[in-house]
Amino acid sequence: MTKTLYLLRHAKSGWDDPVARDFDRPLNKRGEKAARTIGQWMAANGVTFEQVIASPAVRVIDTLDGVWAGYGRKMEPTWDRRIYLASSATLLDVLREVSDEHDSVMMVGHNPGMEDVVFDLVPDDGSSPLREEVEVKYPTAALAQLDIDIDSWSDIGKPVALLKRFVRPRDLDPELGPDAE
């Protein structure tokens, strides 16, 4: 059996917005647009999932609001504080707790944990050009799809995943790329 894991990094947050805690930083305008754009791409490309697990940080909440606006459907996530700025080991622990009734899950969180999950699950054997793209950069609002050869979420952790898709906002709209103003 195969489980499908979508890893969505939060969209670009606003560093100009004075907030007391990093946890409370909202998205900037570019981040809002990127979240909607990724949501639209997900809808157009048949991306589906049965559960969403997300960090409760403001920028993740805002990202999901934008994704749902573009996706045309809203799901109520399971908010898990452990995901906030978590390591890959912690993220994998969270995923091991997912019910096996769910074959497809989206986790929404932060880097470097999100990209490290890709590195931990996708073999580094040269067979995945997309893994090399992640090695270059896992930008904000990027979405990775991993098909994992496991029967149970509790078995997650070995490098047996196929990185099927890696979509960055700049791939969909050049105005969302690093050189855009």
What 134-140 contacts at long range (C-beta under 8 Å, 24+ apart), as own/partner pairs, is 134/163, 134/166, 138/9, 138/111, 138/114, 139/9, 139/168, 139/169, 139/170, 139/178, 140/9, 140/10, 140/11, 140/12, 140/13, 140/31, 140/34, 140/169
User: pTM of the predicted model, to two decimals?
Assistant: 0.95
Closest CA to 22 of 55, 57, 64, 61: 57
Closest CA to 109 of 147, 77, 135: 77
What does the pLDDT look like over 75-89, one tens digit per residue? 999 999 999 999 999
What does the pLDDT look like over 109-141, one tens digit per residue? 999 999 999 999 999 998 889 999 999 999 999
